Amino acid sequence: MLGKLLARLHGKAASSPVQVGLHITNGSVAFAKVFMRAGEKPELLALDYRLFSETDRSEQLLSLFTQYELKDIPVVLSLTQKNYQLMMVDAPDVSEEEVKGVLQWKLRELIDYPIEDAQLSYFDIPAKRASDDAKLGFAVVARNSVITELQMNAINLGYHVIAIDIPELEMRNLVIAGGFGEKPTAVVRLTHRGGSVLYIREGNVYMQRTFDLGLELLLESDLDDSDEVRLIQESLTLEIQRSIDYCSSYLRQPTAAQILMMPLAKNKPKMMEYIQHTLGIECISFDLNHIFESTESMDPEKQNRCLLALGAAIRMAGGVHVATG
């Protein structure tokens, strides 16, 4: 099912001009409803974020469905990071029909459940490994049961699910829509427990690297000049540098021309200045308000919480308006 739903990662736009992105975790749901217009900024029709307990999960999802009139509207579901694995692999040198079989053989020993229980998808990386010029790609692996449960929970409540996407490609959608997709760009997303760095160039994802690091104090504290915060800041900057260096050396890609920080719940200008000064690379705080037409401005916390839902909602390759200022 993931293979089918992710099969057209770079495919055609959905036939409906209105599309919904839905990102569901164990205790929350982020929702975005967008109207897409060819050659124009997408219009943000609705944005919502709700917390729920396990007992009222279905009730909250049904409430969203009813309140925002979602009958027959295409929905793209966003996987949570823990529900799939994204692995860089040697590109299978076979026909498209044979890719799944080759991936099953390659990945069998790399997952902790039977490969027969896995859903697989694959997309190419437009670069070669520096050491041997081997072609590379990304394999997306998820349990059948996880994908089925996610999809059927939504369908049973009336949602018209057309695709399931992953955070890396949802962030790519936003980067392209924001006009940052052409230059070599290190896209950084932070959470309290660590973060990830994507290298995006000419609209393609070349690399993804995650790291574990306790960032809660750095992201939430107002004590930006404390010794403890400075140490965390230094560690974070080192992780970003390692990611950029890895892409340059492993894939022979140009050094990132800019660092794009995905929306943080609290703006951290001193942290941004430190990263820019230390690495000598422009560090830009990504404001999603520049991407969407909307009657209301999104505050940083709303952008942070609804990031992946917004990226899923504009999953319409070729139909994404690129902001020019």
Distance CA 276, CA 259 (A): 8
Higher pLDDT, 274 or 11: 274
Q: Which residues of 191-229 are buried (b: 16+ CB within 10 A; e: fewer)?
A: eeeebbbbbbbebbbbbbbebebebeebbeeeeeeeeeb
**Contact indicator for 221, 234 with CB cutoff of 8 Å:** no
Distance CA 315, CA 171 (A): 10
DSSP state letter for 290: G
Task: Give tens-digit pLDDT for 284-301.
Answer: 999 999 999 999 999 999
* pLDDT for 55: 86
Facing residues of 208 across strands? 198
Facing residues of 77 across strands? 22, 164
Distance CA 275, CA 28 (A): 31
Tell me how long the chain is.
Answer: 325
Once rounded to an integer, what is the mean pLDDT over residues 94-116? 92
- Give the best-scoring range by mean pLDDT among 14-28, 35-49, 89-103, 253-267: 253-267
Q: Which domains does the chain have, with CATH numbers?
A: 83-145 (3.30.420.380), 181-285 (3.30.420.40)
Distance CA 308, CA 172 (A): 10
Task: Give tens-digit pLDDT for 122-174.
Answer: 999 999 999 999 999 999 999 999 999 999 999 999 999 999 999 999 999 99
Phi, psi of 258 (to 5 degrees): -155, 150
* pLDDT for 54: 80
Sorting pLDDT into bands at 50, 70 and 90, what band is 2?
low
Task: Give tens-digit pLDDT for 33-78.
Answer: 999 988 889 999 999 999 999 889 999 999 999 999 999 999 999 9
